[in-house]
Structure 1
Amino acid sequence: MGEPIMREPIAAAQQDSPAVALGPTALVFGVIAALTSFFISPFALIAGGLAVTFGAAGLHYARQGVGRMWPAALGMTLGTVGVLGIAALLGAFGA
């Protein structure tokens, strides 16, 4: 028979930081904000604000070597698109 195949553990390692989750969290909130900005929805403002906040924090930690840069940057960008999209819709209806 052969040696059993060792798989990577599913649980987080002890040296992992919660800051690793900031980028993916920003990405999820950014997608929600960008998709709901086409409708006048309070979810776009809430999710967009959270995406920008988590994305900025994720970028900060990614520059220090904790986490990844692209999910934080993309989440922050999509969050900004969501907030600006809802602001543009409200501005167009208010004019």
Structure 2
Amino acid sequence: MTEYSGGSVSYYTVFIKRPTTPAKCPYSAECNDIIEALGMNYAEGNAFKAIWRRAAQRTLGKAKVGAKPDGLYDAEKVSFFGERLVEQSKQFKEQGVIK
């Protein structure tokens, strides 16, 4: 199933039937909710979304319109934004933001 929209789409939502925490009830998780809850920056959010899309396409058959089945596009996005994260981490270290 492929989708294309500027809004919320089903490939960014997954139902968790058996949560890791035994006492927790089943729930739906949305990619954007997790990004916002964790306060991800632009690079983190984009890498996370690309991993999410790739996995949703492979395991759930949910894909963005035009997505090729090899997942290469999203893998390249993860690589690009991963490199950005490395550079950001180096800058933060140089600026003394992180030790």
Shorter chain as denominator, the TM-score bin is 0.3 to 0.5
Q: Which has the higher helix share?
A: 1
TM-score normalised by structure 2 residue count: 0.45
Name the structure, 1 or 2, with higher relative contact order (CA <8 Å, separation 6+).
1
Q: Which has the higher strand share?
A: 2
TM-score normalised by structure 1 residue count: 0.46
